[in-house]
Amino acid sequence: MNQPVWFQPEAPLGSAVRYIASLSPRFNWVGIYILRGKSLVLGPFIGEATEHKKIPVGTGICGTAVAENRDLNVPDVTQVKNYLSCSVATKSELVVLVRSLEGKILGQIDIDSHIPAAFGEQEESWVRQVARELGERWPHE
């Protein structure tokens, strides 16, 4: 299997985060949450520290994406009732699920931006491609 240019076998999650963060200056926080049981556990990230190291499925945008089994592109986080604020500067958020080849949710890529409606079709496409490739190479425990 050919490896994408961003992939580092010794640290696939961290290399994915670094690559995604490099794609746009509008990406102010990029992280990966790993699904463990009924919670999302924070993995590698780039950006300000967050208190949200463990998020229950169904809570916030990240937990809702898993509960609803779909990616979420939120152009205005103030319009989401159960939004978990990591930073008052965050205006929009993109969550893309990482799935195994069998379709099982393994985790997610979470991106925050200080710009409203920061994520268009191009940004979603970039992140979905990384999520697909990451799902194929997800570290086994």
Nearest of 108, 115, 109, 60 to residue 83 by alpha carbon: 60
In single-letter form, the type of residue at position 109 comes to I
**Residue 117, pLDDT above cutoff 70:** yes
pLDDT in tens, 70-86: 999 999 988 877 777 77
Count Cα atoms within 13 angstroms, Cβ side, for 135.
Answer: 21
**How many other C-beta atoms lie within 10 A of the C-beta of residue 107?**
23
**pTM of structure:** 0.89
Q: Please list the alpha-helical segments (H only) found in the chain.
A: 12-23, 60-68, 121-137
**Residue 8, pLDDT above cutoff 70:** no
pLDDT in tens, 10-58: 578 888 999 999 999 999 999 999 999 999 999 999 999 989 999 999 9
Rounded CA-CA distance 68/60 in Å is: 12
List the beta strands (DSSP E) in 1-141.
29-36, 39-46, 54-56, 72-74, 92-99, 105-113
Residue ranges and CATH numbers for the domains of the chain are 12-137 (3.30.450.40)
**Confidence band for 105, pLDDT divided at 50, 70 and 90:** very high
